[in-house]
Structures are given as structure tokens and as C-alpha cells.
Chains A and B, each alone.
Chain A
Amino acid sequence: MFDFVSHGKKFLLISGIFLVISILALSIFGLKLGIDFKGGSILQVAYPGEKPVNSEIIEQLSPLDLGEINIRSTGTSSIILRFVEVTEDVHQQILNNLGDVQEERYESVGPVIGRDASRKARYAIILSLIAIILYVTWAFRKLSRVLKKGESWRYGIGATIALAHDVLILLGFFAILGYFKGVEINVYFVTAILTVLGYSVNDTIVIYDRIRENFLLHRSKDMIGTINLSLNETITRSLNTSLTTIFVLLAIYLFGGVSTQNFILAMMVGIVTGTWSSIAIASQFLLFKRKK
């Protein structure tokens, strides 16, 4: 049997390092918001022949007041342009100026919609966290009756701290990606965060469920022993489930097309941290400041 509890400090140290890096990345680089949140336009066009160089494209578009134009290549013959929000007439002008191109994708988002999207995203994440604390506390209410009053809140809060850990690391990871690779945060990313929340709490609950069961079964006062036992009993399942999910996600990441790649990457990161935090954070929190 592996003694998870006595390695708890090391686990916390590792998580702590990642958290510090994430918070630093978030406060120094910040998240790179996509047009979903701040408004603007994305235009993807394919050239039938040779792609022109960027400076040529910028020159073609210079008569139009598009603010800062960001050009990125995608695939062999396509480019993605980013610029400010424009009217439909200007959009048609742009296509005209670019010459013989095929429009593959065009998105233009007004700032109001963007503001609304980011407000909704924040609400959704906070609301999910609250709902999860409440549900977990309720689901583990039996422990409050058997052990002492308020015990089940420890589980609700423990699960949520683990979730906050996952979300922070995921945000930090994308802040770094945003800074170095220009990866932007869009609505899909929020979806990924919420899914990771669901997945990670599922993982925590499976371990908590086993701890609950072992408590009720053995009526043991040995907190450390029970937690160690439960972690050992659930570790195979935790790893197997994470592995199978990562398999599927990896397949989509590698072969599923560019448009979902960052979304899938976010989920993969989230699943790894979710599995980790269930063991390293959520389970250890049950012992936090507890009288021996």
C-alpha cells in the first residue's frame, strides 16, 4: 500500500509551484482574449494559388481603416486575418481588395455581445462552483451525522478548492500559451473549463465516496489510515479513467482538425490536473487542521 498521506507535503509543494507559476503568468501576461469576448473580426480566406506575403496583404488592406491587422497562416493555402469590428460593406471591400480568394470563415462580433459573453462565462463558472459545493455537501450529509456536525462541508469545500486549483492552473497554462503562441481564449475555452470542473469533481467524488464508505463500514477513527486505504483502492480506477479519456482526446487533438485543437488541449490539461488534485489536494484537505 502506498502511503499517500505522508507524501502529502510533497504533493502540496508540487501543486504550489504550479500555482505560483500560473498566478505569475496570469498577472504578468494575462489572458489573451479572443473576439468572442472583446469584439472584433476574424476572416479566413483560401488562395487558389500561391499565398502572398504578409506585407502585400497589409498593403492591399491599408486603404481601409482596420486598425491593427494580425495575419496568420493556416494550412497550405489559407490565412487568418484579425482586425477590428467592421460593417458588412467594409467586409465586402476587404474581400474585393484581397483579390481572387475564397472566403472560408468570417466572424464579426460587436463589443456588446463580447461583454455579455464574458459576463456570462464568469457567472457560469462561479455558479457551477457554488452548485458543486452545495451538492457535494448534501451528498455527504451522512458523514455529518456519524462523525460530527459540519463534517460534510469539509468535503464540499475540499472538492471546490481542488477545482479552483484546476481552473487556476488551466488559466495559467493558457496565459503562457497566449503570450508565447498567441493562443486566444474563446467561448470554447469556457466550455472546456466547465467540463473540466464536472470531470474533476467526478474524480474527487469517486475518492470521497470510497472514504465515506470506509468510514461508515469500519467506523474507524483512524482518519489517515482510512484515507490511505481509500486512495489505494481507487487509484487504478482514477488512472484508467483518465487514461481512456486522454486517449480519446489525444485522437481528436491529433486528427480532429485545427478548430477544436485548443479546446481539446484545455480539456487534456484539465483532466490531468483534475486527477492530480483529487489525490493531492481534495483528499489531503480532509486532514487539514483536524485535531488528531
Chain B
Amino acid sequence: MNRNKLWTTFVLIIAFTLLALLIDIPQLPEWVPGHQWFSNNKVHLGLDLQGGTQLTYRTDTSDIPSGQKVSAVEGARDVIERRVNIFGVTESIIQTAKLENEWNLIIQLPGIEDVHSAVNMIGETPILEFKEQAPPHELSQSEKDAIAEYNSQAQERAQDILEKALASDADFSLLAQEYSEGPGSKTNGGDLGWFPKGMMIPEFEKAVFEDLIVGQITPELVTTNIGYHIIKKTDEKIDDQGEITEVMASHILFITQSEEMIRQNGQWQYTGLTGKQLQRASVTFSSQGGEPEVSLEFDKEGAKLFGEITGRNINKPVAIFLDNYPLSIPVVREKITSGQAVISGDFKLTEAKELARRLSAGALPVPIKLVGQQNIGPSLGKISVEKSVIAGLLGFLLVAIFMIGFYKWRGLLAIVALSIYALIVLALYKLIPVTLTLAGVAGFIISLGMAVDANILIFERIKDERRLGKPLSVAIDDGFRHAWTAIRDGNITTLIVCFILYQFGSGLVRGFGLTLGIGVLLSMLTAIVVTRTFLRITTR
């Protein structure tokens, strides 16, 4: 290499070092040109150094077709991201990670100490899904077994309560309130009110119109296609011919399942239309009764999907599921292309308002469950940073003393080269940016060790070449050339390990792989460019 080239390299090294230094200094004085840009680059500290919370949620994608799982999970991530941003967390990181066929959402909230409110904030996010009916399917044996099992248990329960109801001191309405599974009648003590003949299921009707007298309770369970009933006839109206026209009765109902019911119910299938495509939710009032409703407005994708779904389900029901519960099951009258839907239900105004507010803040396309959390207080993180910095500097000092003691002036040059290396690595961490965790700091320090190793290899080789009687400048060149293969092979194997760490690891381990990888690459560069240039210039 000629002299000009050598000095050009030297000037470039100095220029890069200065640039790195400008980036590294946290706050530059104002007279430095571009000081704003330089100072804007900040070291991103990981949760363990800065303090904060990491929450891991498992998403339940079991009823989503396999092709759409990824987009549903990403939709959930976007919704949570929006929500977290509303909450005012800066620099939050939300990642998806696949674990054993399940997708997890990893949410990092730096600086958030109050885990409880963070968990509540995310947990409050509603899950909104639009589902359509699946074509009926034949029941499997295990499904049939499950039905039989459920029904026999219902019968046992019913028999138990029947005995209680027949006891002389029994309060029928109290028992109904406590045990009845009958929707509606449960709250008013099982009372069904007055009804004429022809309104009820045949078995029920036979009991109240023929078997029972007023005040009597059925001595045995009455079985209908809904379930098991314990019936108490409370009053009756008789016409002129002595015929009973109307009866008043109460019942305690234990619902059973039938194959027919299972085939038709619960077969709501995923349509792809979820909270992900929701743009706005607001409270409106129905045109007929003026009851409060929640109006939904979809984005473009959602409007298109909704058009398709309503198009293929005319005169069929479409269910709106909120938090896994079918909130309203309207029947589609016509194809709706406006991208607007209405959830009507028995809303009170306050409930409708609350729901609209929750939906507006973002609704999840899939159910999520908290499965892991980490919380690190800021004081612990701060202590870690301070201690690590002091320890790192101390380690560097020890290395410097050793290198200078062992290799004299060459050792000094190596330390200068290492300092330049450290400055550039730090600047890269800021520029990329790399999120520094404790493991990352360790990775950096190990890479520093590798950088020292490259220098030691070179110096040992130069010594060897000198022993062979070569003049110093030739010995330096040959020493570098011979040391290179060892440096290359050693560093490449470390890079392979870094790559594997980065691919396999999550969070902390990933950060370690990245910092070590960057460090190893740069240490090769500084050893062969910086140390070499310095050695050459000083030997001339």
C-alpha cells in the first residue's frame, strides 16, 4: 500500500470516529452543526435496564381457518398497539410469536410500573366477531356421548331439586330463582303467567290442564324436548261448561341438549369480519322504538367483507359476537354495501354508550388470554445500568493495562483501536437502533473480548515473523496476512452462533445475538483496518 492510500485510510478512520463520537454524545452543544439530528439518536434501553412491563398473551385462533390465522393475529396486534398508544406509552413494542401452533402477542411497555392498570387496559379491549351459520354436520360419537352425559347430569340435578320442592316446607319460587335454567321465568320465581290451551308443549300442557290441581307440584319430572320440568300449577280459570280455559303455572327448568340443537346452534363460523375492520362505533337510536343501539362503521376492507357476508346470507341469521358471546343475531334482509351495521339488543343507554366507547378504542379479532408477565421496577434497572457501565469501564481498564504491559506501544495502539471500535459500535446501536438489554450489554463486552483477541493474534504473528528475521514493515504485513485466516474462521463460527441465537431466541436472547453479531463483524473490521493502519503509520 502506498503512502497516499495509507493516509487516506487514516483520515477516513478519524472522520468515522468523530462522526461516531458526535452520535454517541447524548446532548451536543448548540454550535455544532446538525446537533439536533445527532442528539435525536438515543440508546433504546430494554425493559430490564429501563424498567417496565412485558405482557404475553395467547391468542385463541382455534376456530379461524388456518389460512387466515396470521392476519387475525396481526389484526389483534394492531388493535392493541392503537390502544396502548392511546394510553400514552411511548416506545411500546408489540410482537407476535408462534409457539407450538399457537400465536402469542408479546407486549413491552417501557416505563409502565402499574401492571395492574396495564393488564386492565388491554383486557378491557372487546373482542368483536361477525359469524355466519355453518352448514349442518353429522355429529361425531364423542359429541353424542357428551350430549348424553350432559343430559343425565341435568336429570340428576332435576331429581334432587324435585325432592326439595316436594318437601312440605319448600318455597317453590325461591328454588326456581336459585336453580331454574329457564330464561325469563327464572327471575320471577319460575312464574310463567297466564296462558290458554295450545300455547305450551304437549307434555307441559297435559300436566297443567289435566294432571294437576291448583297448588300442586308434579310428583315426577316432566320431560319435554327442552328439558326436565318441575311444574307447579298456581291458578286456573274455568268457563261456564266447567272447562279450564287458562292456567297460571310456575316451573323449574333443567335444560337438556338435543342432537338437533347442537347441529344448528353453536355452529357459527368465522367470516373474517372482526373488530380489526371496525372504524368507528357510536350510539344511535332505533327508528321504531327509539331504543339505544350501537352503530358500527367498517373500513373499506370491512365494508367489502360485510357486503359479501350479507349477500350470501339473505334471509339467514348473522351473529355479532362480543367477547365470545352472541350479542345479537339479526336476520339479513338484503345485501348491505354501505359498510354500516347496527347492534341492537336490550341496551340501557349507559350500556350502549360504554360499549360504543370500548369498541371505538379498538376491538380485537381474536380472543386473548394473559399467560405471562414480567415487571421490572425502574430502580432495579437503573442500578443495573450504572453497575454495568462501571464494570465495563473497569474491565476495559484491566485489558488496557494488560495489553500495554505485554505488548508495549503496540498494545497502546490496540487500545486506541479498541476505543474507536467501542465508539463506532455504540453509534451503530443508536442508529439501527438496537434495544439494549443486560444480555445485550454482555454481548457487547464479549465482542470487545473478541476484538482484543484479533489484536493479540496479529501481534503474536508479527512477533513470529520478526523471529524469522523479517524487517518490521514486512513482518507487519505478513503477520496480518497469516493471522487473517484464524480471525476469519473464528469470527465466522461465532457469527453462525449469533445468527442461530437471533433466529431462535425471543426478546433478550435475540438482543444478545444481535449485539454480539454486530460486535464481531466490526471487530474484524477494526482489527484489519484500524490496527493495521496505525501500525503502518507508526513504523514508517
Binding site for B on A (CB under 8 A): 44, 87-88, 91-92, 102-110, 112-113, 115-117, 120-121, 123-124, 127-128, 131-132, 135-136, 139, 187-188, 190-191, 194-195, 197-199, 201-203, 205-206, 209-210, 213, 233-234, 236-237, 240-241, 243-245, 247-252, 254-257, 259-260, 263-264, 267
Report how far A210 CA is from B487 CA in the complex, Å. Answer: 12
B48 contacts across to A, CB distance below 8 A: 259
B11 contacts across to A, CB distance below 8 A: none
Query: B510-527: contact bitstring with A at CB < 8 Å (1 yes, 0 no)?
Result: 001000100000000000
Report how far A259 CA is from B371 CA in the complex, Å. Answer: 23
Closest to B387 in A: A257
Query: B24-53: contact bitstring with A at CB < 8 Å (1 yes, 0 no)?
Result: 000000000000000000000000100000
Q: B493 contacts A198, CB within 8 Å?
A: yes
Query: B373-417: contact bitstring with A at CB < 8 Å (1 yes, 0 no)?
Result: 111110110011001101110111011001100100000000000
Q: B446 at the A/B interface (Cβ < 8 Å)?
A: yes
Pick the residue among B379, B392, B439, B464 that contacts A104 (CB under 8 A). Answer: B379
Pick the residue among B370, B373, B384 that contacts A107 (CB under 8 A). Answer: B373
Report how far A190 CA is from B439 CA in the complex, Å. Answer: 11
A197 contacts across to B, CB distance below 8 A: 497
Most chain A C-beta atoms within 10 Å of own C-beta, residue among B387, B396, B442 = B442
Report how far A252 CA is from B448 CA in the complex, Å. Answer: 13
Q: B498 at the A/B interface (Cβ < 8 Å)?
A: yes
User: Residues of B within 8 Å of A, CB-based: how many?
Assistant: 72
Report how far A17 CA is from B151 CA in the complex, Å. Answer: 66
Pick the residue among B56, B403, B449, B512 that contacts A191 (CB under 8 A). Answer: B512
Q: A202 contacts B491, CB within 8 Å?
A: yes
Closest to A186 in B: B508
Closest to B385 in A: A257
Q: Which of B99-107, B297-305, B344-352, B469-477 contacts A (4 or more CB under 8 A)?
A: B99-107
Q: B453 contacts A241, CB within 8 Å?
A: yes
Pick the residue among B371, B375, B486 that contacts A206 (CB under 8 A). Answer: B486
B403 contacts across to A, CB distance below 8 A: 244
Q: B316 at the A/B interface (Cβ < 8 Å)?
A: no
A109 contacts across to B, CB distance below 8 A: 56, 372
Q: B392 contacts A199, CB within 8 Å?
A: no
| 3 cross-chain pairs, A with B, having the tightest CB-CB distances, nearest first | A248-B395, A202-B490, A110-B371
Report how far A191 CA is from B506 CA in the complex, Å. Answer: 11
Q: A124 contacts B377, CB within 8 Å?
A: no
**Closest chain A CB from B446 CB (angstroms):** 6
Given A205-B490, A255-B394: A247 and B402 interface contact (C-beta under 8 Å): yes
Q: A243 contacts B504, CB within 8 Å?
A: no
Question: Tally of A-B residue pairs with Cβ under 8 A?
Answer: 223
A201 contacts across to B, CB distance below 8 A: 490, 493-494
Q: A195 contacts B446, CB within 8 Å?
A: yes
Q: B115 at the A/B interface (Cβ < 8 Å)?
A: yes
Binding site for A on B (CB under 8 A): 48, 56, 58, 99-100, 102, 104, 113, 115-116, 119, 370-377, 379-380, 383-384, 387-388, 390-392, 394-396, 398-399, 402-403, 406, 438-439, 442-443, 445-446, 448-450, 452-453, 456-457, 460, 464, 482, 485-486, 489-494, 496-498, 500-501, 504-506, 508-509, 512, 516
> Can you report 15 A-B residue pairs in the complex whose CB atoms are below 8 A from each other?
A88-B115, A88-B119, A103-B375, A107-B373, A113-B56, A113-B371, A124-B504, A131-B497, A132-B497, A244-B453, A245-B449, A247-B399, A248-B396, A259-B48, A264-B442
Report how far A92 CA is from B494 CA in the complex, Å. Answer: 44
Q: B395 contacts A252, CB within 8 Å?
A: yes
Q: A105 contacts B380, CB within 8 Å?
A: yes
Q: A202 contacts B116, CB within 8 Å?
A: no
Q: A106 contacts B497, CB within 8 Å?
A: no
Q: B456 contacts A110, CB within 8 Å?
A: no
Q: A194 contacts B497, CB within 8 Å?
A: yes
Q: A104 contacts B377, CB within 8 Å?
A: yes
Q: B370 contacts A87, CB within 8 Å?
A: yes
Q: A107 contacts B457, CB within 8 Å?
A: no
A254 contacts across to B, CB distance below 8 A: 391
Report how far A249 CA is from B441 CA in the complex, Å. Answer: 12
Q: A112 contacts B102, CB within 8 Å?
A: yes
Most chain B C-beta atoms within 10 Å of own C-beta, residue among A44, A115, A260 = A260
B509 contacts across to A, CB distance below 8 A: 187, 190-191
Given A44-B380, A109-B372, A256-B391: A191 and B439 interface contact (C-beta under 8 Å): yes
Q: B490 contacts A206, CB within 8 Å?
A: yes
Most chain B C-beta atoms within 10 Å of own C-beta, residue among A112, A136, A264, A267 = A112
Q: B497 contacts A198, CB within 8 Å?
A: yes
Q: A112 contacts B100, CB within 8 Å?
A: yes
**Closest chain A CB from B160 CB (angstroms):** 29
**Closest chain B CB from A132 CB (angstroms):** 6
Other CB < 8 Å A-B pairs besides A198-B496, A252-B442, A257-B391, 18 of them?
A124-B501, A128-B497, A194-B497, A194-B501, A195-B443, A195-B512, A198-B493, A199-B449, A199-B450, A234-B460, A237-B460, A243-B402, A244-B449, A244-B452, A245-B452, A250-B395, A259-B48, A259-B438
Given A105-B376, A206-B457, A210-B486: A199 and B388 interface contact (C-beta under 8 Å): no
Given A107-B375, A201-B490, A248-B396: A236 and B504 interface contact (C-beta under 8 Å): no
Report how far A193 CA is from B539 CA in the complex, Å. Answer: 41
Closest to A235 in B: B460
Report how far A151 CA is from B439 CA in the complex, Å. Answer: 38
A131 contacts across to B, CB distance below 8 A: 496-497, 500
**Closest chain B CB from A255 CB (angstroms):** 4
Given A191-B509, A240-B406: A88 and B116 interface contact (C-beta under 8 Å): yes
Given A198-B494, A237-B460: A251 and B116 interface contact (C-beta under 8 Å): no
Most chain A C-beta atoms within 10 Å of own C-beta, residue among B58, B116, B384, B460 = B460
Most chain B C-beta atoms within 10 Å of own C-beta, residue among A91, A108, A202 = A202
Given A116-B100, A198-B497, A198-B498: A88 and B442 interface contact (C-beta under 8 Å): no
Pick the residue among B99, B373, B392, B398 that contacts A112 (CB under 8 A). Answer: B99
**Closest chain B CB from A265 CB (angstroms):** 12
Pick the residue among B104, B482, B486 that contacts A113 (CB under 8 A). Answer: B104
Report how far A124 CA is from B374 CA in the complex, Å. Answer: 24
Report how far A191 CA is from B501 CA in the complex, Å. Answer: 8
Q: A88 contacts B402, CB within 8 Å?
A: no
**Closest chain A CB from B74 CB (angstroms):** 20
A234 contacts across to B, CB distance below 8 A: 460
**Closest chain A CB from B388 CB (angstroms):** 5
